Amino acid sequence: MPKKKKVNINISVNHVTRVEGHGNIRLRASDGMVEHVEWQVPEAPRFFEAMVRGRSFEDIQTIVSRICGICSVTHSLAAIKGVEDALGVEVSEQTDKLRILCHYGEQIESHSLHVGYLVAPDLLGQKSVIPLVASHPDMVKTIIRLHRLGNTWMEIIGGRMTHPVSLKVGGFTMLPSEEKLRELKGMIEKAVPDLKTLAEVVLSLADKLPDFNRETEYIALSGPDYYTFYHGDIASTDTDEKVPVQEFERVTNEYVVAQSTAKWCKWHRESYAVGALARFNLNAGQLLPMAAETAKKFVLKKGTCNPYLNNVAQVVECAQVVEHSLQIIDELLTKGLKNEPVKIKPKAGEGVGCVEAPRGILFHRYAFDKKGFCTKANICIPTGQNHANIQKDFEALAPQIIDRGQDEIRLLLEMLVRSYDPCISCSTHFLNVEFV
Amino acid sequence: MRPILIICLGNPLMRDEGIGVRLASELTTHLADNPDVEVMDLGTGGLSVIHAIAGRKKTIFVDCAIMGKTPGLMCRFTPGQVSSKKVRMSYSLHEADLLNTLELSHRLGLCPDDVVIFGIEPGQIAPGEGLTSELENNIQQYVQAVLKELT
């Protein structure tokens, strides 16, 4: 290990307002030694659980779809699955497949945006994607096309490009036509070259991703049949035990810390990570050929514990969801779409819905009275589950980079946070302007 | 694709931040028979604005805006008449700034020439449903202002 320069560092990246919510980075070093490094989340509590109490089981997904504009399909599906679990509702194979398909549209949108708009500027030495329009126009246009595909995809299946309206407890309010499904299939097939371009661009810049490894527990859904974002039990890289989603609190073990208004989580270690890399580390053996080939090009292997490579895992997952979507559409078209009216009788009960958001595993728990009104809700989001792990990464990374100079240290810490693709400040998008 | 798009933004779970979404339903009713205008509730869709406005002749945004004015006041402005006071941390895709998104759209050649923003000063942005009275009492006035923009 090279001898550390005796430097003094004081980094303080502050949030702006509590309403919007942000994360703060603090680092203090003296004589080349890190004295203090902290990931703070001062986001105000948002009380979404309180807002659904007293509401009908039929309204829950509409309300929670507004929690986040990027993960609105994911929140809707988690809520719907939680309600169905509580009320004992079984859904058809067609509904199951259409939901997975809708969810994949969100994965493509979110992953391509994250890699293209937030990660690429870091790797190309820019502050944002805007200068890349002039310097790397083809790459930006590729990202824009993939983003548009995700939007159109969710509009076709979910009824609109964000905050879906066609997903409901038991099935769908409105099915896409078979013609629209064929149209979607054509768009997805045409996007394959764009995905390959995205992978090549990231591959060409992969040596700029920091070489930082820390033994980490990864947690994700896992099932026997396919690389899942929707079905399965909770799995960990630290154990062979599979935990039913209904017992998720046994995994999340939420606790409160002074440096964050968001709760932190831990299972077998002081922290764990969720997201694309967690899913890859648990389920890589189930990747379809194009995704497996993409992983091979990056030499991304099971057991990877470099958090910066979450971005590479996202690229691999883009290939995975495209390939699986084409299979699903073929299966749906072969059988033909049928209207499936569902009548649901409310009853008292409690249930859990679990879905993999682009940024990691998401849990919703609901209880209902005998008339189907919500009496209890608990939502445990992936970013909350990653906060403790970001802190532990900071503690391990900071001493390794303390001789790099203040600007580079700050950038590497910010890049680390970005690599987790966090969901913060997602509930408010108001303008804040002054007239010029 | 209809040539004129009214995009209503915001979150109805954050009190006055939801004014855009509330106006989306009002404007949809008023404009149901107008073949040239589409009203879109884009919620907190952020960067999806780029695709929604591409290829349109005119886009009108309706959003909650902190402008330092009296709560409930609606101001009409164009992107060139304001500058953003938001400090972006760029940690998360979820961080959205409409002016920044419009700049990206413009550089990509996807932004309509005619973009108008109706900003409404909030009384309260906090978790909860329903608007404060300062905004609730002015709903029809806001609707008429946006409709006038179409004439």
A434/B108 touch (CB, cutoff 8 Å), yes or no: no
What is the pairing mode between strands B82-84 and B114-120? unpaired
What pLDDT is stored for residue B121 in this prediction? 96
Strand-pairing partners, residue A24, are A40
Nearest residue of chain B to residue A16 (CA atoms): B87
| pLDDT over 90, % of chain A | 78
Partnered with residue A350 across adjacent β-strands are A367
Indicate the average pLDDT of chain A. Answer: 91
Least CA distance to B77: which residue of chain A?
A435
DSSP SS3 for B105: helix
pLDDT at residue number A19: 41
Q: Note the pLDDT tens digit of each residue in A58-91.
A: 999 999 999 888 899 999 999 999 999 999 999 9
- Which residues in A lie closer than 8 A to residue B108 (C-beta atoms)? 133, 140-141, 144
Q: Looking at the complex, does the CB of residue A23 fall below 8 Å from at least one CB of chain B?
A: yes
C-alpha span between A338 and A332 (Å, rounded): 10
Within B44-138, where are the H helices?
Answer: 49-53, 98-107, 133-136
Condensed to tens digits (0 to 9), the pLDDT of residues B36-75 reads 999 999 998 888 999 999 999 999 999 999 999 999 999 9
- B contact test, residue of A431, A434, A435, A436 with most B CBs within 10 A: A431
- Identify all chain A residues contacting B66, using CB atoms and an 8 Å cutoff: 430-433
Residue written as token pair 């690599």 = A419
Quick check: B121 contacting A, CB < 8 Å? no
Q: Is B126 on the interface with A (CB under 8 A)?
A: yes
Whether residues A161 and B87 touch (CB distance < 8 A) is answered with no
Instruction: State pLDDT tens for residues A370-401.
Output: 999 999 999 999 988 999 999 999 999 999 99
pLDDT digits (tens, 9 = 90+) for A89-131: 999 999 999 999 999 999 999 999 999 988 999 999 988 888 9
Q: Does B151 touch chain A (CB under 8 A)?
A: no
Q: Does the beta carbon of B51 lie under 8 angstroms from any beta carbon of chain A?
A: yes
Helices A137-158 and A178-205 pack at an angle, to 10 degrees, of 150
Per-residue pLDDT tens digits for A338-358: 999 989 999 999 999 999 999
Q: How many CB pairs under 8 A join A and B?
A: 185
- Beta-sheet pairing, A233-236 with A239-243: antiparallel
- What was the pLDDT predicted at B59? 98
ipTM associated with this complex: 0.91
How far apart CA B46 and CA A133 sit, in angstroms, is 19
A239 to chain B, closest Cα gap in Å = 31
Predicted confidence at residue A32, as pLDDT, reads 87
Strand partners, A215: none
Distances (CA, A) of A159 to A110, A154, A189, A290: 18, 7, 21, 29
Phi-psi region of B46 (alpha: psi -120 to 50; beta: other; left: phi over 0): left
Pairing state between β A360-368 and A349-357: antiparallel
Among all residues of chain A, which has the CA nearest to that of B64?
A: A430
* A159 φ/ψ angles, rounded to the nearest 5 degrees: 95, -25
Instruction: Please report, for residues A42, A85, A86, A355, the alpha-carbon distance to residue A352 in angstroms, rounded to integers and kept in the order given.
Output: 28, 6, 7, 10
Backbone angles phi, psi at B78, to 5 degrees: -105, 160
User: Closest Cα partner for B49 from B115, B136, B137?
Assistant: B115
From A74's Cα to the closest Cα of chain B, the distance in A is 14
> A63, A51 in Cβ contact below 8 A?
yes
pLDDT band for position B95 (cuts 50, 70, 90): low
* Single pTM value for the model: 0.93
Q: According to the model, what pLDDT value does residue A393 have?
A: 97
3-state secondary structure of B128: strand
State yes or no: pLDDT of A22 exceeds 70.
Answer: no
CB contact under 8 A, B92 and A426: yes
Q: Which of A384, A144, A386 is nearest to A277 (CA)?
A: A386
pLDDT value for A18: 36
